[in-house]
Amino acid sequence: MTGWLAGKRALIVGAGSGIGRATVDAFLNEDARVAVLEYDSGKCATLRQQLPDVPVIEGDGTTRTANDEAVQVAVDAFGGLDTLVNCVGIFDFYRRIQDIPAERIDQAFDEMFRINVLSHIHSVKAAVPALMGQDGASIVLTESASSFYPGRGGLLYVASKFAVRGVVTALAHELAPRIRVNGVAPGGTLNTDLRGLDSLDLGARRLDAAPDRARELAARTPLGVALSGEDHAWSYVFLASHRSRGLTGETIHPDGGFSLGPPPQRN
């Protein structure tokens, strides 16, 4: 523990599992006070049991109502808000345009962009008034390796993550100098509980349920690592801290060097 977030008051949206849950723990370990907004009632119950001092708001992060309530709870509990983190997301399991029935495109598009993009916009809209009054306020949104490179998701997922990258850039410009806005673009991740689109009958499927996922993730990165939510969480800590005060509109890529191309042949 370094105390990088000592005195910080944070709201983390989508905090029940995976990267969001790991980020909650990392923020607490760095002396931040944290409130969470989570959709899943079972995950909310677990959070309340494991972290009794953390305000847990059960609600749909894609809605204005839930985000407004979560911000108000955080402000009431902590006397203000310094940091917003959004880790809400859904996957399409590499569905190509040929794989999506024409009659399902509208519904799948709406579901993907509501969860992966609209949730970020609603959380920012709700948090900005509270953040504006604080020195060193910051927003950290969750992009993906798919925000920069095709092939790490299907058509709709890649498009939605490119959109989140645009949201980060636009907000960083719009909210400067009062609020810094940055993104984290994780590569493949272990233990994410990232689910698929209900509209494509993928809602019960987990990305991290694939056999030999750790080996597959490590094999496609130059560093040969399979990263977890705990690994990614430290990028959020850094971007929320004073150490990153000169960064806005930027993206950290904890992806094992994926952007460098295929890993070298190892003897």
Beta strands in 65-154 (DSSP E): 83-86, 137-142
- Mutual angle of helices 155-175 and 105-113, in 10-degree steps: 40
Q: From the candidates 94, 149, 157, 236, which is the catalytic residue? A: 157
Q: In whole angstroms, what is the distance from residue 177 CA to residue 197 CA?
A: 37
Residue 248: alpha-carbon gap to chain centroid: 17
Q: In whole angstroms, what is the distance from residue 72 CA to residue 138 CA?
A: 17
Taking the CA atoms of the chain, what radius of gyration do you get in angstroms?
18
Q: 130 near 81, Cβ under 8 Å?
A: yes
Q: What is the residue whose two structure tokens read 């690592």?
A: 225
3-state secondary structure of 91: strand
157 as an active site residue: the answer is yes
Q: 206 near 195, Cβ under 8 Å?
A: yes
Peptide bond connecting 177 to the previous residue in cis, omega within 30 degrees of 0: yes
Q: Rounded to 10 degrees, what is the CA torsion of 124, 157, 34, 49?
A: 140
User: What are the residue numbers of the active site?
Assistant: 157
